[in-house]
Each structure stands twice: as structure tokens, then as C-alpha cells.
Structure 1
Amino acid sequence: MPILKIARMGHPVLLREAEPVDDPTHPEIRRLIADMVETMQDSAGIGLAAPQVHVPLRLFVWRDAAGASVLVNPELAPLGEETESAWEGCLSIPGLRGSVRRPRRIRWRGLDAEGNPVEGEAEGITARVMQHETDHLDGILYPMRMEDHSLFGFTEELARAAGSAPR
């Protein structure tokens, strides 16, 4: 399976809304998912959306304790009003981090790689990754969500200023 080229900030594919996936079981979609998982792992990422690999489709992969997962045609909704700020990075914006406020808990639903409906709830880092990747499907990059751009910078500089690396 090939490692896919990751689109970087400035590429138009990252700024458009992605199209729904008609058939998650189609061989090309299965191959895309497998290649995205390998690309995410090779890049030491914890999430990767199809537009980031130049494919404007509504699907993303992410890593959690159970391994790699996929969500096709995701729909997310906040659970409650509690939010939290945390450092985010992005494979499409290498070397930079920013503090982004997001809902702490979400409800999600979509399709798995077999085309079966799946749904659940997520909180903490999993909820953050799912929101970040869904933003990619809507043409939104995390700096667009930032409230305070003084909390945006190169990872190395932020680490020096704080005495440790932001996460």
C-alpha cells in the first residue's frame, strides 16, 4: 500500500466541502481507507481526512487504543455545552500548533468500512480528533477555529516558551 501525499495548507482541496461516499465497500474506497491508515501511521498522525490526501470525499480515519478506525459520511453533534481548549496540530499544517476550543463531548454517527450504520459518543481526545477531521470534510482548518492567535506558532518555539512541548 502506498503512502499518500498529504495536501498542505493553501491547497484548494482543503478549503472545499467534501462529497458523500456512495458505497464504502467499493474496492477503490477500501483501498483509499487502507492507504490512509498507512499514511496516518507513517506520518505519526492520530487522524487523517480524505481531503488531506487530495480526495474530496466525506471519510476519515483515526487512531485510538483499539487501533485504526474509519468513519464514512460522519455526522457529529455536541453533547452538552461544556467546551475545552487544547493544543492541536495537523498533518496539513506541519510544524505548527494552536489552541482550539471545542465541545468536550460529542455524539457521532455514520457508516463503517462495511457500509453498516454506526454511532456512539466520544469525549476528550477522541472527540477532539473526530471534530478536527470532520472540519476537514467541511473545508475548515483548525486555525479558522482559533479564538486567540497568540496561541498559534511553531511547535519548537511554543515548547521553548513553555518549557515543554504543547500537545
Structure 2
Amino acid sequence: MTVQPIRLFGDPVLRTPADEVVTFDKELRGLVRDLTETMRDAGGVGLAAPQIGVGLRVFSFDVDDVVGHLINPVLHFPDEEEMDGDEGCLSVPGLYYDTKRRKNVIAKGFNESGDALQIVGTGLMSRCIQHETDHLDGIIFIERLDMAARKAALRDIRRAEWYDPTKTVVKVSPHAAPSPFGLGR
């Protein structure tokens, strides 16, 4: 297991949709271990492969003492219930914003051995699964904020000690219209 450097806002890998995992092998198991170790070292509740520079659809999580990972996740929402709450990101360190998410989620995918896996999440687990799956789709959580909050977040990011303007390309959100899940503006 190796703690990997976490890519920060502005790194193009964070804006690039990840590829589906097709080979479940020793390298994939190593990636899962690296994700878990890096997440724990950073004190996070989730970490997606693109956040350590790997463009594969894999993430790890550690929510309420439930530690695991999910590969090639597909999300289903059993109801329309939403929740608001502070959300942060290891790729946007030290900054937290009230972010609306679906309260309940059913995530289907695979474990590191290629066995089918289903996670039913509510509350923080649901938020984590949605946040990490967004990373796999090249979406950073600030895109889920309304326009005023997103502008404030971008202003905060520009003021952050870790911010590097030579790496940052801010794109228009692909979610400009309200989403079918009620997560849009």
C-alpha cells in the first residue's frame, strides 16, 4: 500500500470522465489499497481514482466505520427525498459548502475481484457515493452549487494557499439546466 498524492482542483484528470474497469487483476487490487490508504491518510470519507491521477471508475469509502470500495458504479435513486449539508472534497482542501444531494441511493457495481456488489446508502453514505461517482464522471461538487454559491466557491479557491492558477481551467458546468434528480440549480 502506498499513499499517493491527491490531485487538486485544476488538474485536468479531475475534469475527465474515467474509463470503465474491464480487468480485475493484481493491479486493480493495488489501486484499491492505494485509494483506501490515501483516503485514510488524508482523513477523508471517500476517494475516487481520478483524484490520485488514475482514470478508472473506482472509488473507496470509509463512512461510519463501513470501509469499502466500488468499481464501475451505477446509481439508482429509490425516491425523490433530498438533503442539504456541508460537503467538502480532498481535491478542494479546507473548503466546505452546503450542497444538495439525494438522501437515498442504491449503488450497484463490483468489488476488486469482479463480484457484483450493491450498496444501499442513506445520509452521509449516500452523499459520499454520489460525490465519488461524480468524480468518476469528471464532475467536481462545486458544480452542484447554485450560481451564487459556485461563484463564492471559485473566489475561495482562488484565495486558497494551495491554488495554482497555471493549472486551473474553469469550465461551464454541464449541469446548467435543472437535473432530473433535482440536484441542479
Is TM more than 0.5 here? yes
Matched, 1:8 2:15: no
Q: CA deviation at 1:66?
A: 4.3
What per-residue deviation string (whole Å, max 9, x for no partner) do you get for residues 66-116 of structure 1?
442010000012121111111111000011111110110011100011110
Q: Which amino acid aligns with 1:15?
A: R
Q: CA deviation at 1:64?
A: 2.6
Q: Which amino acid aligns with 2:9?
A: M
Aligned pairs for 1:47-66 (under 5 A) are 47-66=46-65
Q: CA deviation at 1:2?
A: 1.7
Aligned pairs for 1:137-156 (under 5 A) are 137-147=136-146, 148-149=148-149, 152=153
Identity of aligned residues (%): 37
Q: Is the 8 A contact 2:63 2:124 kept in 1?
A: no
Unaligned 5+ segments in structure 2 are: 157-185
What per-residue deviation string (whole Å, max 9, x for no partner) do you get for residues 43-71 of structure 1?
00110000000000001000034442010
Q: CA deviation at 1:120?
A: 3.4
For residues 117 and 29 of structure 2, the distance between their equivalents in structure 1, rounded to whole angstroms, comes to 17
For residues 51 and 90 of structure 1, the distance between their equivalents in structure 2, rounded to whole angstroms, comes to 13
Tell me the residue number matched to 1:33. Answer: 32
Tell me the residue number matched to 1:68. Answer: 67
For residues 66 and 88 of structure 1, the distance between their equivalents in structure 2, rounded to whole angstroms, comes to 19
TM-score (norm 1): 0.86
For residues 133 and 65 of structure 2, the distance between their equivalents in structure 1, rounded to whole angstroms, comes to 20
- Structure 2 CA distance for partners of 1:120 and 1:44, relative to 1, 3 Å: closer
Tell me the residue number matched to 1:88. Answer: 87
- Structure 2 CA distance for partners of 1:120 and 1:68, relative to 1, 3 Å: closer
For residues 117 and 2 of structure 2, the distance between their equivalents in structure 1, rounded to whole angstroms, comes to 28
Partner-residue secondary structure (3-state), 2:40: helix
- The CA RMSD over aligned residues, in Å, is 1.6
For residues 82 and 43 of structure 2, the distance between their equivalents in structure 1, rounded to whole angstroms, comes to 26
